[in-house]
Structure 1
């Protein structure tokens, strides 16, 4: 009987020791798993995994990423007063030109209207180079100050420039045509480029040109041009 009891006790202790060892192994296994990182550093994640921390989030289609993580709509960028940097300067191949006057004006002013007949926008920078008749000297000087925004015109859109032709009491001469030249973004650019000769419209017929004619800056707002022409005291 004593031998049998000892044998049972020994078996019991053995079972307890085995259970303890199994428990310890399970705990060590769980701890090792907890210390492992979800994905090894520098390895590609599985398909469909989230964006890694610190990597830029792709911008939605049609937007461009900005510094600092913001997003903006893609397209030509514009600078205040500087025009659209992605829009080319207008030239003779982009424009149709019309000349006209105002009733009860006695021919002292001329309106130049430029219409974009292409399928792309272009910009009329600064003021036009205007010469009268067969003049080959310097173009006439600008009048007033530049508008806040440059004159960018899309297909079939218009821009305007006005000319102070003469004032009462000035010595004058008569011409039936003008020439026009266009500037690029840099003020004074293209000054020596050949200008396009334009015969005055039937409405205008001829111009009586004084000794100090001036031209306004291009503007898409006709009223702004008229205000400068008739309210500036130049007439």
Structure 2
């Protein structure tokens, strides 16, 4: 019995030894993978990629919630149509007039005068003269604060006359007569014929004078009511001259 126990003990020891050797052998074979199984992998220094949903393409980086593209400071930039002054939209309306030259003579005005004299800025008087016979002198005086031009000739209306009397064409001046404030222009008026050849004569105390504009195509501005101290007799030969700068020139016809 003792011998049998020794054999079993020896056998058990041999099996245990074999098992230990086998374990050691397995351990030796798996040593190269120990880092993978039990040791954490080294951390990389490279930044981890951003999730696709968090990154925006450059083309989408200025889009608002509605999908419209705006620049970063679009909200602070003024709207060009609203900021531009209305005056810069249109400059001189394409006018081709030359720049007026300064005028430093009497009256203190500057530039080219285009304002017409009329009843609103002038006073008109009619006075009889001794020569020529049957003539009267019409005087227009600038009572305004700006210079005005006495264009063409006066359109006189005695009483209820329906037609403008004719003008002596030969009395047309070389240039338009410009009146500075306080200055006067003159026109001669032949009221009736000296030889009695006129027709349709009548007497009146009412006289209105109308003024021509720059284009000489009709009246402009207000008419002037002219006070008369006595009745004036006129007939079909009623004729006027152009406005003159000199009184003598107005009474030559």
Which interval holds the TM-score relative to the shorter structure? 0.5 to 0.7
1:176 aligns to what? 205
How big is the shift at 1:198?
A: 2.2
2:246 aligns to what? 221
How big is the shift at 1:189?
A: 2.4
Q: Closer, same or farther in 2 for the Cα pair 1:140/1:132, shift >3 Å?
A: same
Give the secondary-structure state (helix, strand or coil) at the position aligned to 1:91. Answer: coil
1:47-196 matched pairs, under 5 angstroms: 74-75=101-102, 85-103=112-130, 108-135=134-161, 137-145=162-170, 146-167=172-193, 168-169=195-196, 170-171=198-199, 172-190=201-219, 195-196=223-224
1:17-28 matched pairs, under 5 angstroms: none
1:207 aligns to what? 232
Give the secondary-structure state (helix, strand or coil) at the position aligned to 1:126. Answer: coil
Per the normalisation by structure 2, the TM-score is: 0.52
Structure 2: segments with no counterpart, 5+ residues: 1-98, 104-110
d(CA) in 1 for partners of 2:132 and 2:243? 21
d(CA) in 2 for partners of 1:130 and 1:180? 5
Structure 1: segments with no counterpart, 5+ residues: 1-71, 77-83, 229-235
d(CA) in 2 for partners of 1:187 and 1:197? 21
Q: Closer, same or farther in 2 for the Cα pair 1:196/1:97, shift >3 Å?
A: closer
Q: Closer, same or farther in 2 for the Cα pair 1:110/1:73, shift >3 Å?
A: closer
Give the secondary-structure state (helix, strand or coil) at the position aligned to 2:249. Answer: helix
d(CA) in 2 for partners of 1:117 and 1:104? 28
User: 2:118 touches 2:223 (CA, 8 Å); kept in 1?
Assistant: no
d(CA) in 2 for partners of 1:103 and 1:195? 27
The superposition leaves residues 78-111 of structure 1 with CA deviations (integer Å, 9 ceiling, x where unpaired) of xxxxxx84331112111111110113766x1121
d(CA) in 2 for partners of 1:74 and 1:85? 7
Which has more strand, going by share of residues? 1
d(CA) in 1 for partners of 2:129 and 2:156? 19
How big is the shift at 1:211?
A: 1.3
Say how many residue pairs are matched. 144
